[in-house]
Structure 1
């Protein structure tokens, strides 16, 4: 590891009286700050990666760990990431907390994206549960395991809006809708941070990547973004604002530039919006070397210029790049940046350490770690989340659920028995051996049925040598479960894909199995929407089973055999073809909207504009019917609240869950509005024949838009209302927003 820092020495040994005072709860951040040298201040805003203990060769361990301890002991670093286990993090922490001049603890961060050791479904998958309480419980469990192991800070949740499935990091978020994404962002932040940051089961959350990272041109990771301020605020900032309102401790900047200004040096984002408008009081970290990368962006001349731009813009912490540490001492000496500017960021970091209770106890707890890590309770939660994340996309003639007591079930495909791919991208400290594969889960679940297995082909490449065995197996079976899709390494960061069809020869395998005449259930194991119109056409049933974590296989089996009735929905639209991308439901109308059999209208010449599967779509083993739409007030004031009611009935023969969704359309506005915007949802579980009335309220938060003057306002006019089970179809009504309500008074007046 190359060192960029200026080295300096301090006397070490027993804690000073001042440092000792910090242990008793007398933490005075300003007093600590006043005692730090400039180099030590820069150390506090430097975050460096350190190796995981299992990856350090025994012969190098003492020297490598010793170097990290020395950096902590001398104050050259204030934060580290990549360490795991309480024993290891405590070993590093002790040098900072007990052997340094000022006794300032390290804040230790990690990428806890969808679990620490207990890996849950990828975030895109769990968002499809439409169960905010469940999503919060997943980040809560991750926090419990993380903090016990000595991690205080997670680089999650990712709250970027993703409308281009070519972008690999779509797997880390909550999909395409900003209103829904805001709800999910708040739930996940609350789960990580629990009832208080200073509690021994909480970690500081990081809302990332600020901002518009999901709008990268062409779906290419790290690429540029360019958009109006209205689009930025309406679509991409909304989840971040919700995360801030939920109390997120930190934010992370994005790699991209926004309208020509890289996020890590963007004062409009980091100062004007985040601090002045939203009153954010935590700290902001760069992403991995994103400060350094302002040079190839063409925004900074050199590292020193980049460091000055980033810190003055409001990027408090330098992740990995060591720009602040190596460049800003000289910059202060030359008068290029003030030490007072550095102090602002250092104070924010120290305040966060205080809020986390690290001055009292920064250590992991080995006993708690052993108790909670991969516990039975967490595995049960992982299994529940896995089953509730499976989306049923097609089920011809009620082929599913299968009977596990008889017959022969052929399990085929390159993703049926892969432990690593079951975990998915960014699997934290997860281990492949912890995972239950789909094949294992199905084998565990059957009670009399016979399971036979063939891989068929590899996930990628052109080897077809396994086709014949797979075809023969399919012909001998009563039904085929065919697991195709993406490996975990095909998704996530730096894994944008230009071709979203089934990789390698998987499509050929599917076609060959479909031609056998045996009923085929296509099990799509992916990290994002992919392009599979041939699967929709030829498979008898289709499920999106994503990458579901350690209980991947058991969760799938629970759904396949009907122990759990699928109730999840898609939170990203699935395109029919690459050429449709970006495809999302909340599109605006044009002056020439689509009409059939008309040439000069908004259309494709060669296919429909409709996605293969739309946002909010997902089937069940039972059926539901909506009725009785009631818009309680046909007219409300601009500060009023519209109440919308509808009844949902389970018209099938088994219990199940339906997500009732409410959409609106501001039909005439000062800026053209999308034809539909999600503004409410309720997940309802009903017994066969049971009905329930659901109620939604539409107030300022749901009806307001950013107008041309960049004011957040509710405009008078007619609003269409749609209550449905996806972003298509449903019950329709409307109401009017006027300057005054029907009683002649503004809402809120007596």
Structure 2
């Protein structure tokens, strides 16, 4: 049990914090960053006891939840449903998360609105990460589409389904820039690039919140994890982050800012510390930056027991101390620890927390409940009939299939092995993911069911018939299967082509699933080597939630598809690409390194004073066995067309207050229609702060018929050339810039230079 006594040092620190807050010039600025609320909200706050106020800042996991939900968070000994219902009526909690649908929500809300003293509606939240009942590709896979509009549409579908089930609030989007593929939570975000991260963050917020947050098909978004969780040392979940403020502002913060600018009304504090200060106890991060500098008007929720975990960090003495620190730092609402309800009233009575601060956080929470329409109609999203009507409709599944095929990345297609003909060839599907209702939806799915998803064999048989398709597992995911390799070799020998379905299982990616070696597991690699020796053409169908280091027969296969975890329509989406119903258009949002030991690897690294263009020059910035490049870089992906870049049109200079219009012609000289993601990169050759070797500034996805070409034009402004300068503020300097219009971060495409000129 935590020691509830407070030390003299802690008491003095608390008193100092109160005085500092009262005297701070930031106080007025922060008070301005609040949602407008009706006078009735302040009148309600005036009636509340300290315990009722603390209850509005206390969020707990639903006691009545689905089986999946209980496995996604650390176990805790919570109350029974009847006990939680009593807590809700007594005003001890603001709402619950990951509950069991509209029926549960109706029982709880009915009890609160009928029996509680103040009749403050509950808020219902959930981890709706990449779908509710209809499941879409994992977010990093969806980012491979390079279509933010697609992400907005899938979020819209997810919001409609989830809101139909009584859910007001999702803990998404996760916008952490992930540059170390060992980190399991890579699968939750948009990958390694800042610009791509910004665009997908904003799109997902718009999709969930819709045009009217009070609509019964809209739900509040939560931008997480604030901040820089993706920079965890060693790619280890929950680990320390230590970055400069410049790197924080230039790399990690922009996607959060984009999400808040798009209208997100909640933020979630991250588990990590930043430069020695846990995010849950960081007033610079949560108040000075988020509210003061950015003007954020919503509320900040802690992550699951994140306030309590400051004790293990060595930042707080006990639960009471952790509560004081988190609350004064700017965490408005505590999740799952129950600390705010247990300790905030006493902290206020003892003078360690100003009641004005408590009232302000309560006002934020009530203002958001008002914005969600809960005070107007506490049951606006709670309708069991609507829940059923919106679930897994034909239209929703069609969007899932579209998202699945648009998320697939064709890494390699030697000899134009793909697309496969629908008839006339015997197909052997081999591998642990060849068939079966498992590992289809992907990690972080609370309400979806793998049993309802389409597996690879189903999709292939639907497209190519059943008579010419065989299925052989060959191995388990992380263990050999007795006799498996022998059976797989026999199946390969009897076929014309092999679909090798290998990669990661759902429990190898996601939260708490960091990996030291980002490779295909050894039993599957052995399977691949054995099948390759048959000499039959192999299409690797890779299942993964992160960038992988491919080896041996997997790396050498003539065709490789990155299929991530694609959700409800997995098998159909893959079959669409395999048989040419859809020409692959996905591009990598994360780099695939040559070797695990390169981690963290990302395309927009610095050149260093000793760049390594090849393996022949000694004393260069490279490992002994590889250059500082990727096997498959960010932005890479092939189509079934043949794409050429030519005809760069680039002015020699750009005026200080002007714009630069640049264009190139992109042609499809192949015999099949294609979609190409045309990418614009720059490099600032000389700066007062060293600049990356390339930075993505814009991209366009275009459709090209066989033999067609299109002139693709981009416009740059001076703001597009800014970086965080020596004064830790955005700046730009005259000078020479390299520019590429290219198909990836490592491809030349067409390349030229221009000068930014200051008059």
Flag whether TM exceeds 0.5 (same fold).
Answer: yes
Separation in 1, partners of 2:224, 2:118? 31
- Is 1:626 the counterpart of 2:645? The answer is yes
Question: What residue is the counterpart of 1:675 in the other structure?
Answer: 693
SS in 2 for 1:274: helix
Question: What residue is the counterpart of 2:42 in the other structure?
Answer: 30
- Is 1:450 the counterpart of 2:462? The answer is no
Question: What residue is the counterpart of 1:242 in the other structure?
Answer: 258
- CA-to-partner distance for each residue in 1:630-671, whole Å, 9 max, x for gaps? 12462310x432221111111111111000000011111110
- CA-to-partner distance for each residue in 1:7-61, whole Å, 9 max, x for gaps? xxxxxxxxxxxxxxxxxx977211111111100000000000014455499xxxx
Is residue 653–residue 757 contact of structure 2 (8 Å, CA) maintained in 1?
no
Question: What residue is the counterpart of 1:316 in the other structure?
Answer: 332
2:536 equivalent among 508, 515, 518: 518
- Is 1:431 the counterpart of 2:449? The answer is yes
Separation in 1, partners of 2:390, 2:325? 43
SS in 2 for 1:187: helix
- CA-to-partner distance for each residue in 1:571-596, whole Å, 9 max, x for gaps? 00011111111111001111122244
| Structure 1 pair 574–346 and aligned structure 2 pair: CA distance change class (3 A) | same
Structure 1 gaps, min length 5: 5-24, 58-62, 741-750
1:69 equivalent among 44, 60, 85: 85
2:354 equivalent among 332, 335, 338: 338
Count of residues in Structure 1 that have an aligned counterpart in Structure 2: 712
SS in 2 for 1:147: helix
Is residue 645–residue 742 contact of structure 2 (8 Å, CA) maintained in 1?
yes
Separation in 2, partners of 1:424, 1:701? 38
Separation in 2, partners of 1:124, 1:537? 21
State the shift of 1:714 in Å. 1.9
Question: What residue is the counterpart of 2:56 in the other structure?
Answer: 44
Separation in 1, partners of 2:166, 2:109? 9
Is residue 289–residue 321 contact of structure 1 (8 Å, CA) maintained in 2?
yes
- Is 1:105 the counterpart of 2:121? The answer is yes
| Structure 1 pair 88–537 and aligned structure 2 pair: CA distance change class (3 A) | closer
Question: What residue is the counterpart of 1:203 in the other structure?
Answer: 219
Is residue 27–residue 359 contact of structure 1 (8 Å, CA) maintained in 2?
no
Is residue 283–residue 330 contact of structure 2 (8 Å, CA) maintained in 1?
yes
Separation in 2, partners of 1:307, 1:37? 18
State the shift of 1:231 in Å. 0.2
SS in 2 for 1:421: coil
Q: Runs in 1 of length 4+ with deviation above 4 angstroms? A: 52-57
2:716 equivalent among 695, 698, 715: 698
State the shift of 1:92 in Å. 1.3
User: What is the root-mean-square deviation in Å for CA atoms of aligned residues?
Assistant: 1.7
Question: What residue is the counterpart of 1:125 in the other structure?
Answer: 141
Question: What residue is the counterpart of 1:150 in the other structure?
Answer: 166
Question: What residue is the counterpart of 1:605 in the other structure?
Answer: 624
State the shift of 1:549 in Å. 0.1
Question: What residue is the counterpart of 1:166 in the other structure?
Answer: 182
Question: What residue is the counterpart of 1:299 in the other structure?
Answer: 315
SS in 1 for 2:541: strand
State the shift of 1:538 in Å. 2.6
Separation in 2, partners of 1:209, 1:117? 24
Structure 2 gaps, min length 5: 5-36, 71-78
Question: What residue is the counterpart of 2:25 in the other structure?
Answer: none
Separation in 2, partners of 1:669, 1:446? 56
Question: What residue is the counterpart of 1:748 in the other structure?
Answer: none
SS in 2 for 1:423: coil
State the shift of 1:536 in Å. 5.0
Question: What residue is the counterpart of 2:33 in the other structure?
Answer: none
- Is 1:558 the counterpart of 2:571? The answer is no
- Counterparts of 1:377-392 in structure 2, within 5 Å, are 377-392=395-410
Question: What residue is the counterpart of 1:95 in the other structure?
Answer: 111
| TM-score, normalisation: structure 1 | 0.93
Is residue 624–residue 652 contact of structure 1 (8 Å, CA) maintained in 2?
yes
SS in 2 for 1:416: coil
State the shift of 1:448 in Å. 7.3
State the shift of 1:360 in Å. 1.6
Is residue 289–residue 320 contact of structure 1 (8 Å, CA) maintained in 2?
yes
State the shift of 1:463 in Å. 3.4
2:505 equivalent among 474, 484, 487: 487
Larger CA deviation: 511-520 vs 726-735 = 726-735
Is residue 545–residue 556 contact of structure 1 (8 Å, CA) maintained in 2?
yes
